[in-house]
Amino acid sequence: MSAGGAARGGGPGPGAAPMRLSPQPGEVIDRSAELSFRWNGRPYPAYQGDTIISALAAAGERVFSRSLKYHRPRGLLTACFHDPGCMVQVGDEPNVRGAHRLVSDGMTVSSQNTWPSLRLDAKGVNRLAGRFLTAGFYYKTFMRPRALWPAYEAVLRRFVNAGSVSPDTAPGRQEKRYAHPDVLVTGGGPAGMAAAVAAARAGASVLLVEEEHRLGGHLRWGGEADLAALGELAARVAAEPGIEVLTNAVTLGRYDGNWIAVLDRGAGDAGAAAERLVKARAKTLVVAPGLIERPYVFSGNDLPGVMLSTAVRRLISLYAVKPGERAVVLTANADGDAAVADLKRAGVEVAAVQDARLGGDVIAAHGRNGVRAVELADGTKISCDLLVTAAGWTAPTALLNAAGNRPVYCPRAARFLPDMASLPGDVLVTGGIAGDGGLAELTQHAAATGAEAARRAGRIRRARWLAGPAGTPRTAAAGHGAEPPPIPVPDLPVDPHPELFAARSNEGMVDFSEDVSATDLLSAVAEGYDSVELAKRYTTATMGPLQGKLETVNAVAIVAAATGRSIAETGTTTWRPPYAPVTLGALAGQAHEPVRYSPMQPWHEAHGAVPLLAGAWIRPDGYGDPAAEARNVRERVGIIDVTPIGKLDLRGPDVPRLLNLLYVNKWSKLGIGRVRYGVMCAEDGVVLDDGVTGRLGEEHYLMSTTSSGAATIWEWAENWLQTEHPDWRVHVTPVTTAYASMNVAGPRSRSLIERVTEGVDLSNEAFPYMHVRTGRIAGVDDCVLWRIGFTGELSYELHVPAGFGLHVWQTLLERGADLGAAPFGVEAQRILRLEKGHLIVGQDTDGLTKAFSAGLDWAIKLDKEDFAGQPELAWQLAGGVGERLVGVQPVDGSVLPAEASQIIDGGRIAGRITSSRMSPALGRSICLALVDARLAEPGTSLTIRLPSGQQVRALVTPHLAHVDPDGGRMRV
């Protein structure tokens, strides 16, 4: 790269950066580091520290995008993150804020929504149609013929002004961070810095968040004195170990309890993938975001070359870029005046200065692709290529709104101010948003605010850590001992400022991103959309990427004037989080969705198990042939991993009372070593869960629940014990994952169990069906053996201390090899249980199935003292059961109705198939169904409508069980 003259940037060839100025004090570019990047395919030079737009502006470019509807050329307006005309595509990342993103070497940047090129955009023809395409025009047309609406839509979609998303974008999410600062200061300008320093000196831990790449705020382009003050403040910040500074970070929102989301964007040139969410629970929040400069509304105000005073000052002072050659300035405040001085310093010819404080005004900007002339109120036209406005300031009160504060409009200052009297105790405000004054006054206010924020944070910290004895009433904000007195925060003056929103002509852009003009707003008001909310929704003003930061106040002023109300009466729209746009990747962070698996899962995977995701668990659905697995259980012996089954260890003298309350059946006389099947209902009588509970000792029971109900039923039991019966002596301990559980089922299961068990007499006389024992299995002590039978065969369910699960599993299979022992999966189990007519809660019952409908009549003991669901079940029995669960077999046994096929009777839906499988034992299809009670008699002919529309006949079976209805096979 050529060294270049001091006055010109380096880069490929002379004249590549004609608008670059000589080095400026306070410039952020590093002229020793030369970069190159591509814009719309052509190479451009840049320095380290340039933003994409500042580099392009230095090269003399002025048009960066085209507007949404009219495809008008757009250029630089604010030269900061929130600049509507500067959204560009970088690589595969759409909607990049080009005036904030730093250039990195080799970057590929392109304009969005322009064809064939930025200069010559074919959709620019919309400009001519402008008067017909007023805001809301689409509500008035495209209605007929209705069939053409999709075609109209397709056309509308082609005009979407945005970047594109590639389906190949690599997934990649940044981990999130938590922070617990005593004081979070949002805004790193002079007030923010002073507040942070004062808070840190008062002993608080501070997180200081600044949106731009460096601290300093407006001091950075304020001139020599400001730069010196900035240096001093920055040094004080750096000297405080208690302050963490985040730059290129923005506070997205403040939620209840000062739960604050901060977006850390990482390095200045980093793309979206570097975004990272920081979640802070701050004790106090200091809001010091400064003020946002507001555009002025007049005809041609969106032409490239119309800029705000802060934009030109940034360009000149930070990036050493000359904003234009010949300027007209409209100024209404000291910053506008300072901009005039800066322009002159940068060698820009200032052709005219219109002082709004003296009645000066600007009526229109003229030009096609950029400003060529400015028209004044008296009709004079001044030729120029740059029009600078300093029309006033908008307070970014988003965080205050979120904290419940309603800012008040001050006509004298021409802006909204926070309602200082009604701030919540944990939110403070300082800096330009709170008032005006010189640098000394503002930093003094900020220091007092920071110290007070630290004091309040201390008070909150003490209140939170005060431990009251559990069980006694306590208030959340208790405090003890002497507290430091509040630190007085002086008031800030509020300077007068002319109200400058829209020029007399009532033309011009209000929302640059949405192409909504003052005329559009006035039309909307005239049509009856006469509140600021209705006008906003009708015209879409403030609904673009800037979310109202530059648009809302002007829109409010125009609507107010049109409706003859004051701005205060008109009110404003609601700021909503996030304050700045944030990627889905940053919000999502790393995925934390753990999968639960049993100790035997590695064995399953090694042996070709087909995985089944059931809730948070992964289980084996089968090992290749579920029908064969089922047959093996019926004929020999199979083993299934049922670890996800919920297990609750219950101890205490009052356990039977709990069981009687939770289950519909009776539990007072369950002997030690015995097991009972139970069903639980909710208080509305709907079936909640089922399972077996066994008594292991005098005051020791073990309850099993469905796997999906494990956590729910534990909470259910705790709810009763803690809130209704705190006097009952019961301890509940969840042991779902403390045991690995496996079910050994089949005619040869006893033989297999005998080989591995010690300490238990396994004969049918000593250990009958529905009993439970403890003993040693495969050398492992404290195992629980249940004789229960979900599959309908002789079977033993083993609960083994989890660490030994895999050992026991493998031992069983090895020792049982000659018996034909083989694993079976969930699908085989489903077939087996269906052959036996065992219902699955949540499949054969639904959210409205009460217990009497589920074939559980035998279990429900209405004469018990209180149990959950009792009154409703009594009324269900008295009033007629409604629907019933029945066994069903299609007449043609080769037809397998899909589950959820509907049962039709007389043209009406009369039920549905809830479970359906081909039965290996019977060689035909078998089902369970919920049907209207009048169709539930055994032998009734049903009509099933298959998904194909075909209807088939089926018969209601005498029992729910299709195989061995008497259950003899389980009792051997």
Partner 1 sequence: MILLPCAWCGPRDAAEFHHVGEAVPRPDPRTATPAQWRAYLYLRANPCGWTVETWYHRMGCRRYVTIERHTETNEIRTATVAGAAGPAEAAG
Partner 2 sequence: MQRSTNGHRPGRRRPGYPARYSAFALLRHGLTHQDWPPAWQPRPMKASYDVVVIGGGVHGLAAAYYLAANHGITDVAVLDKGYLGSGGSGRNTAILRSNYLTPEGVRFYDRSIKLYQRLAAELDFNVMFSQRGHLTLAHSDASLRTMRWRAEVNKIEGVSSEVIGPAEIKRLVPYLDVSAAARYPVLGALWHPPGGIIRHDAVVWGYARGAAALGVHLHQNTEVTGIDVAGGQVRGVRTSQGDIATRTVLNATAGWSTLISDMAGVALPIQTFPLQAAVTEPVRPFLGTVIVSGTLHVYVSQTDRGELVFGASVDPFTSYSMRGSLEFIEGLAGHVLELMPSLTKVRVLRQWAGLCDMTPDFSPVMGRTPVDGFLTDVGWGTYGFKAGPVSGEAMAECIATGRTPDIIAAFGLGRFADGTLVGEKGAAAVGH
Residues forming contacts to partner 1 in the complex (CB under 8 A) are: 255-257, 259, 281, 404, 464-465, 467, 470-476, 683-684, 715, 718-719, 722-724, 726, 866, 870-872, 875
Q: Which helix (H) or strand (E) holds 232?
A: helix 224-239
Q: Which does 652 bind (CB under 5 to 8 A by kind): partner 2, partner 1, none?
A: none
Q: Which does 894 bind (CB under 5 to 8 A by kind): partner 2, partner 1, none?
A: none
Two tokens, residue 314: 């940034």
Whole-number Å distance between alpha carbons of 794 and 462: 63
Q: Which does 584 bind (CB under 5 to 8 A by kind): partner 1, partner 2, none?
A: partner 2
Can you list the positions of beta strands (E) in 315-447? 326-331, 349-355, 362-366, 373-376, 381-383, 386-390, 393-394, 408-410, 415-417, 427-429
Find the shortest distance in angstroms from Cβ 258 to partner 1: 9
DSSP 8-state class, residue 60: T
Q: Which does 796 bind (CB under 5 to 8 A by kind): partner 1, partner 2, none?
A: none
Q: Please identify, using beta-carbon distances, which residue of 388 and 457 lies nearer to partner 1.
A: 457
Q: Which does 257 bind (CB under 5 to 8 A by kind): partner 1, partner 2, none?
A: partner 1
Find the shortest distance in angstroms from Cβ 596 to partner 2: 13
Q: Please identify, using beta-carbon distances, which residue of 89 and 957 lies nearer to partner 2.
A: 89
Find the shortest distance in angstroms from Cβ 872 to partner 1: 7
Q: Please identify, using beta-carbon distances, which residue of 468 and 958 lies nearer to partner 1.
A: 468
Q: In the beta sheet, which residues pair with residue 647?
A: 704
Q: Which helix (H) or strand (E) holds 696?
A: strand 687-697
Q: Which does 843 bind (CB under 5 to 8 A by kind): partner 1, partner 2, none?
A: partner 2
Q: Which does 726 bind (CB under 5 to 8 A by kind): partner 2, partner 1, none?
A: partner 1
Q: Please identify, using beta-carbon distances, which residue of 715 and 937 lies nearer to partner 1.
A: 715
Find the shortest distance in angstroms from Cβ 439 to partner 1: 37
> What is the residue whose two structure tokens read 């559990």?
470
Find the shortest distance in angstroms from Cβ 534 to partner 2: 5
Q: Are 28 and 318 in contact (CB under 8 A)?
A: yes
Find the shortest distance in angstroms from Cβ 127 to partner 2: 13
Two tokens, residue 482: 């002497």
810-815 long-range contacts, CB within 8 A, separation 24+: 810/603, 811/756, 811/778, 812/639, 812/742, 812/744, 812/752, 812/756, 812/778, 813/639, 815/752, 815/755, 815/756
Find the shortest distance in angstroms from Cβ 101 to partner 2: 13
What backbone phi and psi angles, to 5 degrees, belong to 612?
-125, 125
Q: Please identify, using beta-carbon distances, which residue of 35 and 732 lies nearer to partner 1.
A: 732
Find the shortest distance in angstroms from Cβ 115 to partner 2: 12
Q: Which does 115 bind (CB under 5 to 8 A by kind): partner 1, partner 2, none?
A: none
Find the shortest distance in angstroms from Cβ 875 to partner 2: 7
Contacts of 317 (CB under 8 A, 6+ apart): 24, 25, 26, 27, 220, 221, 342
Two tokens, residue 700: 């020791």
Q: Which does 937 bind (CB under 5 to 8 A by kind): partner 2, partner 1, none?
A: none
624: left (phi over 0), alpha (psi -120 to 50) or beta: left
Query: 693: buried, middle or exposed (CB in 10 Å: 19+, 13-18, 0-12)?
Result: buried
Q: Please identify, using beta-carbon distances, which residue of 52 and 427 lies nearer to partner 1.
A: 427
Q: Please identify, using beta-carbon distances, which residue of 521 and 785 lies nearer to partner 2.
A: 521
Q: Please identify, using beta-carbon distances, which residue of 590 and 723 lies nearer to partner 1.
A: 723
Q: Please identify, using beta-carbon distances, which residue of 533 and 937 lies nearer to partner 2.
A: 533
Find the shortest distance in angstroms from Cβ 457 to partner 1: 14
Q: Which does 476 bind (CB under 5 to 8 A by kind): partner 1, partner 2, none?
A: partner 1
Contacts of 320 (CB under 8 A, 6+ apart): 20, 21, 22, 23, 24, 27, 29, 58
Two tokens, residue 170: 């690599």
Whole-number Å distance between alpha carbons of 446 and 434: 10
Whole-number Å distance between alpha carbons of 593 and 364: 58
Q: Please identify, using beta-carbon distances, which residue of 31 and 596 lies nearer to partner 1.
A: 596
Q: Please identify, using beta-carbon distances, which residue of 30 and 866 lies nearer to partner 1.
A: 866
Q: Which does 901 bind (CB under 5 to 8 A by kind): partner 1, partner 2, none?
A: partner 2
Whole-number Å distance between alpha carbons of 267 and 101: 9
Q: Please identify, using beta-carbon distances, which residue of 87 and 102 lies nearer to partner 2.
A: 87
- Residue 960, Cα to own-chain centre: how many angstroms? 46
Rg (CA), the chain: 38
Find the shortest distance in angstroms from Cβ 902 to partner 2: 5
Q: Please identify, using beta-carbon distances, which residue of 88 and 686 lies nearer to partner 1.
A: 686
Q: Please identify, using beta-carbon distances, which residue of 406 and 464 lies nearer to partner 1.
A: 464
Q: Are 282 and 503 in contact (CB under 8 A)?
A: no
Q: Which does 545 bind (CB under 5 to 8 A by kind): partner 1, partner 2, none?
A: partner 2
Report the chain's terminal Cα–Cα distance, integer Å. 93
Find the shortest distance in angstroms from Cβ 265 to partner 2: 12
Q: Which does 471 bind (CB under 5 to 8 A by kind): partner 2, partner 1, none?
A: partner 1
Q: Which does 168 bind (CB under 5 to 8 A by kind): partner 2, partner 1, none?
A: partner 2
Q: Are 419 and 439 in contact (CB under 8 A)?
A: no
DSSP 8-state class, residue 409: E
DSSP assignment string, 238-270: HH-TTEEEESSEEEEEEETTTEEEEEE--STT-
Alpha helices in 121-189 (DSSP H): 126-129, 149-158
Amino acid making up residue 825: G
Find the shortest distance in angstroms from Cβ 725 to partner 1: 8
Find the shortest distance in angstroms from Cβ 428 to partner 1: 19
DSSP 8-state class, residue 369: S
Find the shortest distance in angstroms from Cβ 473 to partner 1: 5
Q: Please identify, using beta-carbon distances, which residue of 611 and 965 lies nearer to partner 2.
A: 611
Q: Which does 138 bind (CB under 5 to 8 A by kind): partner 1, partner 2, none?
A: partner 2
Q: Are 617 and 594 in contact (CB under 8 A)?
A: no
